[in-house]
Structure 1
């Protein structure tokens, strides 16, 4: 293929259209929050914008729904909230009171979990330092360490012996031994060797396995690995299978609304920009659908019963993060300046969420002061000294003026945890 043919092929590929977000789905989402605008605006009487607004009831409802979905389908199941998805102590505290354990991935998160009184903690993540491992071993009555490598096993074994403490452990299995995801865990093919190596350390009780696939819009990636794991377990000696007390299938469950994208966030939009073409119009919104949690529970439970529980009688653990906290936190901002009919500046920037999310991800901007179900074009930008400080390219409202209160809903996952003190101060957190 010559260069001209390649360019023609790329241009044809760029013309492919991702599935668009259905207008009725979008309007139902917007209406849900505009119907509650008085509740949100009332909070600002005592706490002026900008703020993070946490809704405790949303967290509790999510916890109840997830537990019900899986407990109805599996004989023994446990839940651990992934603290990294939202590290505000109130969120983890609500989950503990709902009967969840906590999944932590650093010494800092472990200290938070211990300080909150969490009685059931799994400590995962690569590159644990000796200080972090020592903290975990010193709380062996509350912590299970999910080892990430043979090197970590070699560090933890002697440490536990020196501390004269027996600690329950698991090992993380890599779901993709190529590319950047090989950072996590050990290849499944090395599990028998890892089990043999762990036997050399009498203070380590290897009691479980863990794996994690991320950004799961459907249960298909998890089911594929469950099949692989089941085949390996079936071939292992009965004595080894008997010592497995838990299998942790991780998290990564995408919120039910699915992934909403701007044109620039779609594959064809990115390709169009590479070809120096416009990515697409600001009024075009795209939708990658997600499976409801009940659908995840049904499909995963069937796979677990077929491929895992036939070989191992154990508890199944889950580590939901994004699915739990995504809808529980919103950002409330105010308009500071209107520089043109289609350009406004707000009093907070995207340092509040930590990354340039809204250049590719779409979330509706709602004008709570002048509410309307009509979406209008406008560059809604933050006040940071960078052009990438973008909230959106449209807003829902009858107009937009200085002093108006804007809402960016459902910003509870991987936003607060990624916030950064860049140029402007961070908003306070208000909980209702």
Structure 2
């Protein structure tokens, strides 16, 4: 009997050791992507920086890996920042995002000396200035702008359009007011701009448009306000393979286009090229992860479909319910058997929408089989919940055929530990 092997580890044996549901993440894959970033971006272009978008997947061990690989890290909450602090991540390489950072979060960021605070609005600018004065620090910031681009992705993960909760709009020259105020702050060092146009993007046209819009902004504010843009953060959002024929594109597909466009626009507009920063997250970790489940109930509705129930679902992977995300999966203990059935993988939550995969082709499915759902490394563990009072799965990191536990499986006591 041959079982599904994932980066040198027998997945069925992993379930015997750690139980199910189980997140499995390949450090080897993550390191391959980090190497690609260094070779095809950081070493190819000078005055650049790469920052891991940690909201995709963050544990202390993941932060340690990114630290060892020499990348920076972007955080969007006090909890993510605290995780970076706990592993002694170099604070100068930390970028702090968020559209409504709390005062406590901003104070934590300033106190620990994060590299950049990406300021989303004028309210936040005033708070950063106030706290920077309190600690007698000069805080480097970028302004997040909304370039007004509708990217081709699910509407819930579009972020760069005009009607967005993120960023300072460019209409009515509102950004001019923000720049003028920042330049007048004693404890603020405005370095430039940040945009993020959306997630799971498979084409680069939106990046070209966003760079052109931002370059024109750089020219205008230099001429009208005397502000010189030193840094341009072009965000991330590079797509990966989840299902079907669409495959993950190499990093260079996106970054070469961005760099060519930045250089071309700067030359045409008479601008000095700023430092260019990228923030891949899903692209680094998405295909590095799988989730393993044990199959329980099998419910055949004659002439309609067969529902196959697993011991997880929406709490460990809410993306199908949120975004209609599609995944591929395999029966790990029958990896070489002929596919003879079409089944629908149902989660165990009391929700009709708790469906992980519709119409999956499989061998003959039996109770006790192990299902491996692929490409679950990004936005699965990080978005997991305790809905229906279901404990969160354990997380196992694998490297060179060896496994190690990096997050313990939750217990019922863990769920109730803060209750009175």
TM range (shorter): 0.7 to 0.9
Q: Are residue 417 (structure 1) and residue 382 (structure 2) matched?
A: yes
Asked if 1:196 corresponds to 2:156, the answer is no
Counterpart residue number, 1:335: 295
Distance 1:240 1:246, change over 3 A: farther
Contact 2:51 2:280 in 1 (8 A): yes
Q: Which residue of 2 aligns with 1:187?
A: 169
Question: Which residue of 1 is the match for residue 272 of structure 2?
Answer: 312
Shifted more, 164-173 versus 87-96: the winner is: 87-96
Change (3 A) 1:330 1:245: same
Aligned pair partner of 2:210 in 213, 222, 225? 225
Matches within 5 A, 1:171-320: 171-176=143-148, 181-188=163-170, 189-215=173-199, 216-237=201-222, 243-255=228-240, 257=241, 260=243, 291-308=249-266, 311-320=271-280
CA deviation digits over 1:212-269, x for unaligned, max 9?
11132111111101111112222333797775332111111111x3x64xxxxxxxxx
Cα deviation, residue 331, structure 1: 0.5
Whole-angstrom CA distance in 2 between matches of 1:209 and 1:179: 16
Equivalent residue for 1:137?
110
The equivalent of 1:82 in structure 2 is 53
Task: Compare 66-75 and 227-236 and name the one that shifted more.
Answer: 66-75
Counterpart position of 2:142: 170
Q: Distance in 1 between matches of 2:66 and 2:395?
A: 18
Deviations 1:366-418 (A, max 9, x none): 11112236363112212222222212233444211011111001101112111
Unaligned 5+ segments in structure 1 are: 1-30, 261-285
Moved more, 323-332 or 362-371: 362-371
- Which residue of structure 1 lines up, in the alignment, with residue 82 of structure 2? 111
Q: Which has the higher strand share?
A: 2
Q: Is the 8 A contact 1:375 1:394 kept in 2?
A: no
Contact 2:3–2:332 under 8 Å retained in 1? no
* Aligned-residue RMSD, C-alpha: 2.7
SS of equivalent residue, structure 2 residue 334: coil
| Structure 2 CA distance for partners of 1:229 and 1:172, relative to 1, 3 Å | same
- In the alignment, is residue 160 of structure 1 matched against residue 96 of structure 2? no
Q: Alpha-carbon deviations, 1:276-313, whole Å to 9, x = none?
A: xxxxxxxxxx6566643221122111101112475134
Structure 1 length-normalised TM = 0.79
Matches of 2:213 and 2:161 in 1, distance apart? 19
Partner of 1:369: 333
Q: Deviations over 1:108-159 (max 9, x none)?
A: 211111112221101111111111111111122x431111111211222122
Q: Tell me how far 1:321 sits from its aligned partner.
A: 0.8
Please give the TM-score of this superposition, normalised by the length of structure 2: 0.81
CA distance in 1, matches of 2:323, 2:186: 52
> Would the aligned equivalents of 1:241 and 1:311 in 2 still touch at CA under 8 Å?
no
- Kept after mapping to 2: 8 A contact 1:146/1:170: yes
User: Structure 1 43/34 Cα, relative in aligned 2: closer, same or farther at 3 Å?
Assistant: closer
CA change 1:129–1:375 in 2 (3 A) is farther
Match of 1:3 in 2: none
